[in-house]
Amino acid sequence: MERLTNKREADAQREEYARRLANGYPRNISEERFLRLAAYEDTGLTPEEIDMDHEAAEALRQLGRGCDLDRLEELAEADKDGRLVVLPCKMGDKLYRVFAGEIFEHRVGSMKYFAIQGRWDIETYPFCPCVESSIGKTIFLTREEAEKTLETMRKEETEHA
């Protein structure tokens, strides 16, 4: 986008305007508009990019609500260093397994992370060892997902029969 203000001129005018205000001169709305436009142009962003930045900032605010900023920084650093692992589910969560045309409900009993393989091994009760890669295929975090998959499997079976 073409720049409408001269950066050097705007920087000099900004300093002069601040000095005049400090000395008790009245505000000059048209000059303030010019300085605001220059400040906006200094960002180099388009209006669409600014909207996206505001949306991203709001999403971050929502995610970080109730979190300590130091903790968020610590987690971001650990993630950058490859030291952060996200659990696929929590201990005690219900998992739903699609097997032999039925849906079975299991509770997460224990989880182990195999760093070399980069995967979780999840044991449930009633006993059903599964790996993280099964989630979304034969193991589901919600009953609704399991039901959809079972329905799709049944449709495919009837089409192939």
Q: What is the pTM of this model?
A: 0.56
pLDDT tens string for the chain (161 positions)? 688 898 899 999 999 999 999 999 999 999 999 999 999 889 888 878 877 777 888 887 887 787 788 888 898 899 999 888 888 899 999 999 999 899 999 999 999 988 888 888 898 888 887 777 788 888 999 999 999 999 999 998 888 86
Q: Could you write out the three-class secondary structure of 95-136? A: EEEEECCEEEEEEEEEEEEECCCCEEEEEEECCCCEEHHHEC
